[in-house]
Amino acid sequence: EDDAYADGRVAAETVKRLQAAKQREEPFFIVAGFARPHLPFSAPKKYWDLYDPKKFKLAENSDLPEGSPKVAQKRGGEIRNYFPVPDKNDPAQITKELA
């Protein structure tokens, strides 16, 4: 079922190539590029079923670390394009909805 998604196919092919490289017993370099976890969040149902969202506990501190670069402060622009994310500019509500 995992190979229904591009990342599953990348992972399977990477494992196959790692196993082949191990057999050669010589140094090697491998890079595997994964597309997720980018929006929209999609995964095989069996992974969603592992967790009960009602049992998630959000961190009490939602502040960014002191000295964080401005790029890290971007909040929620892309995610508002997906249902059921609230349309208002309330990071706490967005976080609660996604948890």
Q: Is 25 left (phi over 0), alpha (psi -120 to 50) or beta?
A: left
The percent of residues above 70 in pLDDT, for the chain, comes to 69
> What is the pLDDT of the chain when averaged over all its residues?
79
Q: Has residue 12 been placed in a domain?
A: yes
pLDDT at 98: 62
In a domain, 19, yes or no: yes
Structural domain range at position 76: 51-58+72-99
According to the model, what pLDDT value does residue 97 have? 64
Number of domains in the chain: 2
pLDDT score at 80: 61
Within-domain flag for 95: yes
| Residue 25: band (very low, low, confident or very high) from pLDDT cuts 50, 70, 90 | confident
Q: Does 86 reside within a domain?
A: yes
Phi/psi for 21 (5° steps) reads -65, -35
Model confidence over 50-94: pLDDT tens digits? 999 889 888 888 788 888 887 776 666 666 666 665 566 666 666
